[in-house]
Chains A and B, each alone.
Chain A
Amino acid sequence: MTRALFLLPLLLFAVVAGYFFTALRPSHDTRELPSALLDKPAPAFDLAGLGSDKRLTLDGLKGRPSVINFFASWCAPCRIEHPVLMRLAKQDKVAIYGISYKDKSEASTNFLTTLGDPYRQVGLDPDGRTGLNFGVYGVPETYVLDGNGVIRKRFVGPLSAEAVDRELLPLLKKLGAS
């Protein structure tokens, strides 16, 4: 019994190592974590708006392709990603909607007034429920929805300028965003 106890660290390590191996599979690109919801309709949401009475709802997004970005003021990578979003917003090719994830509304307002606001509209998800429905497991995460509200692409982690140019913009073109 006690002997088995001494084996425990080794077994735990075996599990971790096994997991690392699967994570390193060439097919398993962490930046492109497949979403279980890929090519499925996005989960419906109805969120209080930040700085306005207008609510952010899934139905409100439909009709045109859109980009949904989950962010939080406490998240350092979001600040790294932020200039990329600002640039994308300036190009005016697609509407970017922000969902402030597990954050206080004042903190989000502060974040956006400090750094600039790339979002057409921001919804508040203080308890992370909408994030949970989307399968967000860390901020920032970005989703591309087509005009019917179907998730076409998911970006985990900060969006890079290259990812925008090489993947996001071509995809939007295909989806027919103006």
Chain B
Amino acid sequence: MITEIGHFSLVLALFVALAQASVPLVGAARRNLGWMEVGRSCALMQFVLIGLAMLALMHAYMGSDFSVINVAANSHTDKPLLYKITGVWGNHEGSMLLWVFMLSLCSAAVALFSSNLPPALRARVLAVQGMIAIGFLLFILFTSNPFLRTFPPPPNGNGLNPVLQDPGLAFHPPFLYLGYVGFSVAFAFAVAALIDGRVDAAWARWVRPWTLASWCALTIGIAMGSWWAYYTLGWGGWWFWDPVENASLMPWLAGTALIHSSIVVEKRDTLKSWTILLAIMTFSLSLVGTFLVRSGVLTSVHSFASDPARGTFILLLLIAAIGGSLTLYAIRAPALKGGGLFAPISREGSLVLNNVLLSCGCATVFLGTLYPLFLDAMGGPKLSVGFPFFNRTFVPMMVPMIIALGVGPLLAWKRGDLIGALQRLWVAYIITGLVLLVAFYVTNGGPVLAVLGLGLAAWLAVAVLTELADRLKLFRIPFNDSVKRAVNLPRAAYGMSLAHFGLAVSVAGFSASAWDREAIEIVPIGGSVALAGYELRLDSVDRVPGSNFIADQATVRVTSGGAPVALMHPSRRFFTLQKQTTSETAIRTNLLSDLYVALGESDTAGNWTLRVYWKPLVPWIWIGCVIMAAGGMVSLSDRRWRVGVARKTRVAPGAVPVAGE
């Protein structure tokens, strides 16, 4: 019964979406306020209806209702409750439902928090959101319905893929989808602006918080996915340039470019048509990512459902959404007039450079993901792509970006003083030089690229701090005045520094992976492995029953120079239902390095394979991502975004607050 209610609300949501996509649009064209406002109530209604559908499916999972095909195919009575719930989106149908749920969440947020938007713009934005919802609701109802029943119900379910039974992966999709779908708001704003034919600073100010919020979610989502791969796959890798990972990296790169180019629109009223194009591209890449994963066009290990019928449907959806918006762009964008002029060496210039490099990086990833198949379709020569390709193309493009990133924020708007900026960075030169020397000495002439990477990270970190100190006029004016400046500095400035600093931390983490050490040894119980100054003794391996698996759990005693450090428990889980083994690694981190132990197979003589890795700075990769996302969040809390609201409520003349910087 509850399942049917969910099914019914989903159908109802489709009809509400039809209204949301049409009525406000007509209203905006005819300047009929009542019709325009329909968009808001429709968006809220949609959120309630799709939320109901989501809860209904969750209910079916929690109650293990195996008459629902989707539950039978993906759940099992023995599964822990947490994974019954997260199992809702651990499969194709459920994850698409999560997708539209996130979309309705974004639309509802626009409807609720947009009192300061011109009604026509809001109506158009919500209408575009409605159109996207129609497409995806049709897709779910016709090709991937999670509410279908079967009779007689099977006695028990097939269970969730054991690899997915993991907290890291359980919460990875919601963040990722929030990021993907959140970009639909920027997309809707772009399309609405094209219909309207007007893009100005106010428009950029409305779009930016949405873009920032989705960017933060996507950053966290990607970091979680990479962290999951790191600790579950059992060999310490954290990024594989797999098509599915690339599918999430592309919108992230485009979104990062969008955040920066919209600053230029906001502050200097220029780069408009480029920003609109980026907004369209960012969401398009999210859609393409969905298409690649779901259609089976690319063979990838992650894609859980690939089906040509679904692929065709998503492709038609892509053509409608991307083709439609780009057509509109081709017609309307030439009329958008650029505003302020600027010299190549200026803050705008540096943001343009950032955009060029990020877009090229994104294009490289796109080509690397699709080019091999492209060439084949045209009967061209064969080309192979993998880790080496991306390391040779993408990485060199990011190096100049990071170097420029140190200087860019120090340049003034309109016309910057490059020499002056470079002079102010003297501390950065010294520290970068020191880091390079120390890294080179410690690693005894080790991998040169990694030493350079560490130098790059140091450069960026110090440059960010220099820029912040510069803003506070630290050591140049009395300390108390600097504190005063610090208090008055807009949050957006802190957000930027924090995000850039986070990138530096991550870069250090990426680079240091060249110094990983590993030992793979077959040891008897009581035997030990020595690595990087640690001594790891295999005390015992015990068989431990789990909820829906049997585990071989090892106890590894770690000592350093005789002093006890830790007890670690890597294990192997055998999932009886799926006859599949997963490896649960044990990781001990001191935030500077990870000691990573994975238990391998045992031989007939009772010896066990132990894989031990020592990974310096590897936690910094994810710490950096969290700092970046935190930077986005701090920037999001800037009062500048709330200025519009204040303006509306405060009627008193002269009380108009001045936007931060």
Q: Is this pair of chains taken from one and the same complex?
A: yes
Which residue of chain B has its CB nearest to the CB of A135?
A: B382
Most buried by A among B384, B385, B609: B384
Which stretch from A54-62, A75-83, A165-173 is at the chain B interface? A75-83
Q: List residues of B (563-603) whose CB comes within 8 Å of A's CBs.
A: 600-601
A24 touches B308 (CB 8 A): yes
B153 interface residue per 8 A CB criterion? no
Across the interface, which residues of A come within 8 angstroms of B296, CB to CB?
30
A135 to B379, CA, bound (A): 12
**Known A20-B315, A24-B315; contact A6-B333, beta-carbon cutoff 8 A:** yes
Across the interface, which residues of B come within 8 angstroms of A24, CB to CB?
295, 297, 308, 311-312, 315
B197 to chain A, nearest CB (A): 14
A43 to B470, CA, bound (A): 63
B384 touches A128 (CB 8 A): yes
Tell which of B229, B235, B386, B518 touches A139, judged by Cβ atoms closer than 8 Å: B386
Across the interface, which residues of A come within 8 angstroms of B386, CB to CB?
72, 74-75, 102, 138-139
Which stretch from A8-16, A44-52, A89-97, A144-152 is at the chain B interface? A8-16
A2 interface residue per 8 A CB criterion? yes
A114 touches B520 (CB 8 A): yes
B322 interface residue per 8 A CB criterion? yes
**Known A2-B334, A136-B384, A137-B383; contact A30-B298, beta-carbon cutoff 8 A:** yes
B236 to chain A, nearest CB (A): 11
B240 touches A76 (CB 8 A): yes
B315 touches A17 (CB 8 A): yes
Across the interface, which residues of B come within 8 angstroms of A20, CB to CB?
291, 295, 297, 315, 318
Across the interface, which residues of A come within 8 angstroms of B372, CB to CB?
137-138
A157 interface residue per 8 A CB criterion? yes
B323 interface residue per 8 A CB criterion? yes
A80 touches B330 (CB 8 A): no
Q: What band does the interface of chain A fall in when counting residues whose beta carbon is under 8 Å from B?
A: 35 or more
A178 interface residue per 8 A CB criterion? no
Across the interface, which residues of A come within 8 angstroms of B329, CB to CB?
6, 9-10
Across the interface, which residues of B come within 8 angstroms of A6, CB to CB?
273, 329-330, 333-334
A123 interface residue per 8 A CB criterion? no
A76 to B233, CA, bound (A): 9
Tell which of B235, B273, B280, B520 touches A113, judged by Cβ atoms closer than 8 Å: B520
Main SS class of interface, A: helix
B78 interface residue per 8 A CB criterion? no
B242 interface residue per 8 A CB criterion? yes
B327 interface residue per 8 A CB criterion? yes
A131 interface residue per 8 A CB criterion? yes
Which residue of chain B has its CB nearest to the CB of A26?
A: B308
A74 touches B387 (CB 8 A): yes
B373 interface residue per 8 A CB criterion? yes
B332 to chain A, nearest CB (A): 9
B130 to chain A, nearest CB (A): 23
Across the interface, which residues of B come within 8 angstroms of A102, CB to CB?
384, 386, 388
Tell which of B281, B291, B376, B388 touches A33, judged by Cβ atoms closer than 8 Å: B376
B34 interface residue per 8 A CB criterion? no
A26 to B229, CA, bound (A): 33
Beyond A77-B301, A102-B388, list 4 extra A-B contacts (CB 8 Å): A6-B329, A21-B315, A23-B297, A24-B295
Residues of A within 8 A of B (CB): 2-3, 6-7, 9-10, 13-14, 16-17, 19-24, 26, 30-31, 33, 72, 74-77, 79-80, 101-102, 110, 113-114, 116, 128, 131-132, 135-139, 156-158
Please, could you name 29 A-B residue pairs with CB atoms under 8 Å apart, sorted by A? A2-B334, A6-B330, A9-B280, A9-B326, A10-B330, A13-B284, A13-B326, A16-B370, A19-B370, A19-B373, A19-B374, A23-B297, A24-B312, A30-B373, A31-B299, A33-B376, A72-B387, A75-B240, A76-B301, A77-B301, A102-B384, A114-B611, A136-B384, A137-B373, A137-B382, A137-B383, A137-B385, A138-B384, A156-B299
